[in-house]
A and B are shown apart, each in its own frame.
Chain A
Amino acid sequence: MAASVAVNQSTAPGAAAKGAVSIRNVTKVYDPEGVNVMAVDDCSMEIAAGEVCMVVGPSGCGKTTLLNAIAGFHSITAGEIHLDGELLCGPDKPLAEQGADRVVVFQNGALFPWKTLRDNVAYGPLVRGQLSKRDALDKAAQMLADVGLAEFAEKYPGEVSSGMARRAEIVRALINDPKVLLLDEPYRAMDELTKSIMHEALLEMYDRTRVTMFFITHDLEEAIFLGDRVVVMTTRPCRTKKIVDVNIPRPRDYHLLSSEAFRLLVEEASEAVHEEALKAFTAGERELA
């Protein structure tokens, strides 16, 4: 018992208990020109500190709205979101303040094209005045080297593959030592091969940092492979439909993908997702008809 705790600590040196996200009865209504569109309806979710929470659901169901609310890009209409017991946004404060404790990794990548990978990574500590320019650049170079990008540190994002760019982008988020990493389909539109390498790289980074992740995806295998829990959302308005616990020990590697336990979990999640996708699809058809 004691031994296993010790092992856990040694594999996760940065495993401080931080980054617990509590989403309580959050509702978001978009109101463009008086047409109420309910994107999120009374959605609740508890994400433990250090948990990898995968959020799946049909397209346009409001997952990103939820992420934007946590990040402070969008306000919420009702409910509360807490981070480590502190109120991020609630009835009196619908829009959360943006902060480096909740860094976002975007769909399709959002590295600054005019900065080299190293300058990109150094950006956060530099603009917050946390590190001197030299220290920020040194740390950035070190962190890039840790993920195998040492020789690409002086390249511009346009000069490296999308896989490398995405890895650098996650490093750019992690250098800020965020409480929670918000990932919005970061590996969308990547080929399976690159994706599987990205997954292993992300797991490796996670094993080092144990940062809480709120990870939106469409890919169920990705969700089960990476996550501690998979939250399946309903079609719009977004509610929690089903939570699949992934009780597969870490560290994980790609052998897992061919195991029976993995297959069963994917099946379980897929049933729930399929049902919602079908609903979303027929609802879409009705709108078009």
Chain B
Amino acid sequence: MAVAASGTGASGGGLRRLRWSALKRNAKLWRGAAAIALTLVLWECGSRASQQLGMQLPFIGLIPPPTAVLAAWAEVIPQFGYWESWYLSFKRVLAGFLSAMVVGIPFGLLLAVSRYCREIFFPPFEVLRPIPPLAWVPASLIFWPTNELSIAFVTFLGAFFTIVINVLGGARSIDIRLLRAAQSMGATKWDMFWRIVLPASLPSIFTGAAVGMGITWEVVLAAEMISGGGTQGGGGLGFFIWNSYMGGSLEQIVVGMFSIGIAGYLSSSAIRYLGDRCMPWRRLF
């Protein structure tokens, strides 16, 4: 909702300043804005139609109209609990994501540069990798002393495997000519790693981070729903949705869903921004 509104607003503001030729070039923006607007209108009409027709339309008739969702949103925005949910979820996502980066990037690079490490660690890694993060939940609830730690661990796992696989793949596919060029100019192993392997792997590190961030959100939300409210490991946007469901507030469920959409968008924007900062040579493409 807010995404749609701000999206059309931004493109509208930008478009006013553009000439006609530029407008035509921005057909993509127009189409996007129109599609979002049309979706909202159809959604509104679809959910309101129930009152006019005296009967509920299938599926769409069950969903609260966008205006009602907006109203519910306006209601929760001043509430402390809503923002606490944001804070808790973000905190968990960041904890899991950052720890996965901190452990996963060096581990992936290690597997890439050392054949022995690859031969030793890769097989067990590949056996553990296909296990979905949520399948780890019961075991980690037993293993870790607090719910919060269990959530953090499961979140970590979700991002960890993806990051490692991406870093490994990226570092292993470095153009051999670059490695040889560096060697032939007298680079030591240390230089090769810091000045060649690491920067050459950055693109795949960021790809891994972007995908890993998405998985982290999925896992955190699911874990929050499972763990429920309470003082320990409770709250968060996942619990916000679950709580709205238990309380029968359809509008708030939708608010929670869009909140997650925005949170995910903010997270991936941050990664894109960091990627641009760390890889200025790739901004050209």
B196 touches A112 (CB 8 A): yes
Interface string of A97-117 (1 = CB under 8 A from B): 011101110111010111100
- State whether the Cβ of B266 lies closer than 8 Å to any Cβ in chain A: no
Of residues 150 to 201 in B, which have CB atoms within 8 Å of A's CB atoms? Answer: 175, 177-178, 180-188, 191, 195-196, 199-200
A123 touches B182 (CB 8 A): yes
> Does B279 belong to the interface (CB within 8 Å)?
yes
Interface string of A64-108 (1 = CB under 8 A from B): 000000011100000000000000000000000011101110111
User: Which residue of A108, A110, A114 contacts B199 across the interface (Cβ within 8 Å)?
Assistant: A114
Given contacts A104-B180, A106-B180, contact A114 B281 (CB under 8 A): yes
Contact of A124 among B175, B178, B186, B279 (CB under 8 A): B186
Of B175, B184, B202, B284, which contacts A98 at CB under 8 A? B184
Known contacts A100-B185, A176-B186, A71 near B180 by CB under 8 Å: yes
- Residue A159 at the chain B interface, CB threshold 8 Å: yes
Report the nearest B residue to A182, measured CB to CB.
B184
Residues of A within 8 A of B183 (CB): 73, 98
- Say whether B202 contacts A114, CB under 8 Å: yes
Task: Classify the interface of chain A: helix, strand, loop or mixed.
Answer: loop
Whether A158 contacts B186 by the Cβ 8 Å rule is: no
B279 and A71 contacting across the interface, CB-CB below 8 Å = no
Given A112-B178, A113-B281, A158-B285, check contact A103 B200 (CB 8 Å): no
CA distance A232 to B185 in the complex (A): 29
Query: With a CB–CB cut-off of 8 A, which chain A residues contact B200?
Result: 112, 114
Nearest chain-B residue to A130 (Cβ)? B186
A156 at the interface (CB under 8 A from B): yes
| Minimum C-beta distance from A44 to chain B (A) | 24
Question: Are the CB atoms of A99 and B281 closer together than 8 Å?
Answer: no
A123 to B191 CA separation, bound complex (whole angstroms): 10
> Which single residue of chain A is at the shortest CB-CB distance from B187?
A127
| Shortest CB distance B222–A (Å) | 37
Closest B residue to A159 by beta carbon equals B284
B178–A104 touching, CB < 8 Å? no
A105: shortest Cβ distance to chain B, in Å? 9
Are the CB atoms of A106 and B181 closer together than 8 Å? Answer: yes
* B176: min CB distance to chain A, Å: 9
Q: Which residues of A contact B138 (CB under 8 A)?
A: none
Q: Which residues of B contact A134 (CB under 8 A)?
A: none
Q: How far is the CA of A107 from the CA of B184 in the complex (A)?
A: 15
Q: Within residues 121 to 143 of chain A, which ones have a CB less than 8 A from any CB in chain B?
A: 123-124, 127-128
Are B184 and A123 within 8 A (Cβ)? no
Q: Is the CB of A104 within 8 A of B184?
A: yes
Given A73-B180, A73-B183, A110-B178, 9 other A-B residues pairs in contact with their CB atoms under 8 A: A71-B180, A99-B186, A103-B184, A110-B175, A114-B200, A127-B187, A157-B281, A158-B285, A173-B185
Binding site for B on A (CB under 8 A): 71-73, 98-100, 102-104, 106-108, 110, 112-115, 123-124, 127-128, 156-159, 172-173, 176
Nearest first, the 5 A-B pairs at minimum CB distance are A124-B185, A110-B177, A100-B186, A156-B281, A114-B199
